[in-house]
Amino acid sequence: MALIPYALTRPFLFGLDPECAHELTLDSIARLQHTPARLAWSQRRVDDLVTVAGLRFPNRLGLAAGLDKNGRCIDGFGAMGFGFIEVGTVTPKAQPGNPKPRMFRLPEQQALINRMGFNNDGLDAFVANVRRAHSFRAGGGVLGLNIGKNASTPIENAVDDYLIGLAGVYPHADYVAVNISSPNTKNLRALQSDEALDGLLGVLVARQAELATQHGRRVPVFLKIAPDLDETQIRVIAATLKKHGMDGVIATNTTLSRDAVKGLRHAEETGGLSGKPVREMSSQVIRALRSELGAGFPIIGAGGVMSGEDARAKLAAGADLVQVYTGFIYAGPPLVTEAATAMARKG
């Protein structure tokens, strides 16, 4: 059964409220992913084996966190040919997120603005969903689990939430991503400042070592950062990553900037902007990180990957692996094959 052309389903989905379309898609994938109906969207995975942070990735193209916050559709998305999938962000306790509407399309720039606010069903439900997934990882896919803090947790107690999240997801993750860069949880980005970041990473790395002993395996931990950083901030973050022996960094999350979308409908909505307008911002951060971190330090590039050419550009900027989110929403599963193929031909 051939892949149903995304061009046929996109007009219907884009006729719906963005969050409604998102939930309808996830509900359908979750319901059908372990049935023969999955053949309707399955496609061959591009082979481009690469080892990063001690993990063997079947190809360099991943799905970014945020699309499947509760980890309900790991096998369904895995059937589309991703080399790795990152689910979450999950918080210790379930929370509804910010009031609706909270997701907006800006099609003129192939962009989205969201202020979801880590809406999710909580750690217990998340882990249960992850444990139910089987075919993606059985076929060699790599699974990242992304953790954050509850909105109700004071920023001075944020470390407690991250420790709960790390311990909860550690036994089930191939790598753990620590999200301190969402613009939609009050004060969260303050954790990127030098003193706060130093304290957070010190505690997390110590706990990682304890969990490695407890579970008999070391799970890499990556830090996800924002694109809205100047050179000094990037330099401090890079130095702190190296100081604590972090396993990698994900660059970047969404931006607060509106320079590229001024005058467009929804441009003034609060939240994080993603898609094409973030492409060069994220690449600039990747280039700066690579300069500071040197060769060999794992970097996952994300932000504005709308084509295979964009994916190759992230590698050229210094990324080892690349994630898609908004580009996937606009282009659908064909982008997975296009981007993975483009990166496999990087030479």
Report the catalytic residues: 182
Region of residue 195 (phi > 0: left; psi between -120 and 50: alpha; otherwise: beta): alpha
What whole-number distance in Å separates Cα of residue 23 and Cα of residue 6? 17
Q: Which two tokens stand for residue 282?
A: 């994220």
Task: Determine the 3-state secondary structure of 120 from DSSP.
Answer: strand
Q: What is the chain's length?
A: 347
Q: What are phi and psi of 121, to 5 degrees?
A: -90, 5
> Do residues 118 and 96 touch, judged by C-beta distance below 8 A?
no
What whole-number distance in Å separates Cα of residue 11 and Cα of residue 107? 12
Q: Which two tokens stand for residue 134?
A: 């089987």
* Among 158, 89, 172, 91, CA closest to 130: 172
Q: Which of 152-156's residues contact partners 24+ apart within 8 Å by CB, and which partners?
A: 152/93, 152/95, 155/186, 155/187, 155/188, 155/190, 155/191
* Among 342, 343, 346, 340, CA closest to 46: 340
| CA distances (Å), origin 294, targets 29, 196, 202, 318 | 40, 24, 21, 10
Axis crossing angle, helix 308-317 with helix 334-344, rounded to the nearest 10: 40
